Structure 1
Amino acid sequence: MKSIVKKIAIFSMVGLMQIGFGASVIEASSLHSEPVPMRHHDDRNDQDRHERERHERQRHERERRERAENERHEREMRRRHHESEREWHHRQERERERHDNTMREIAAGLIGIWIGSQINN
């Protein structure tokens, strides 16, 4: 009877030691030490990258629109050979107003994009 009790006690201690050793190995493993939301963090990096790319495309589009508007404005501001001085100044005034409105629309789009990105964050 004593031998059975000794064997049970020894095997129980060995089992507890294995459980303790296994728990320490699991705790020290790299898979367990990484935070669980790490995949979420990768998703966030992807979202940030997509946001940066989208902002970059929007910036290029805005710059393209501004360049096109400035070129059009410059062409329209030149005096035409059939215009009188008075007609030319009148057309220049209308063109300045149109140009200012267009540039404000482009800037308003940029502000709208910025506000939208701030809401999403």
Structure 2
Amino acid sequence: MNSIVKKGIICSMIGIMQLGIGTAVIEASPRHHENKDYEERYEHHKDRDHRIQEERERHEREMKRRHHEEEWQWHERQQREKEHHEEVMRTIGGLALLYLITNS
């Protein structure tokens, strides 16, 4: 009976050691870190998509003619708004590109 208990204790210790080594390997594996990188990228894309959506909505509101505007005023404001919109979209795209470069 004494040898069965000893063998049981030894097998339990071996199992605990294997579990500890397995945990250490999983923590050190690059796949584990890729998940964190993926989550970071997902959050960044989600934020960028939100900013793009807000800019598109703002642009759409600004492009509509206001009831007190003359035709020529409306066309001038549309031109300024188009230039502003293009600049903002380039900035958002540039920030996304900068993020990709710095995190690769």
Which range, TM-score by smaller chain?
0.7 to 0.9
Q: How many residues get paired?
A: 84
Bigger radius of gyration, 1 or 2? Answer: 1
Give, in whole Å, the separation in 2 of the partners of 1:82 and 1:70. 24
Q: CA deviation at 1:45?
A: 2.5
Percent sequence identity over matched residues?
A: 35
List structure 1 runs of 4+ shifted beyond 2 angstroms.
37-40
Q: Is the counterpart of residue 46 in structure 1 residue 35 in structure 2?
A: no
Note the residue ranges of structure 1 that are not aligned, 5 or more in a row: 1-30
Question: If the length of structure 1 is used for normalisation, what is the TM-score?
Answer: 0.63
Counterpart amino acid of 1:107? G
Aligned partner of residue 76 in structure 2, secondary structure: helix
Counterpart amino acid of 1:89? H
How far does the alpha carbon of each residue in 1:39-65 deviate from its partner, in whole angstroms, 9 at most, with x for none?
Answer: 521xx2232111100100010101100
Counterpart amino acid of 1:102? V
**Matched residue, 2:52:** 66
Q: Is the counterpart of residue 88 in structure 1 residue 79 in structure 2?
A: no
**Matched residue, 1:101:** 87
Note the residue ranges of structure 2 that are not aligned, 5 or more in a row: 1-17
Question: If the length of structure 2 is used for normalisation, what is the TM-score?
Answer: 0.73
CA RMSD of aligned residues (A): 2.0
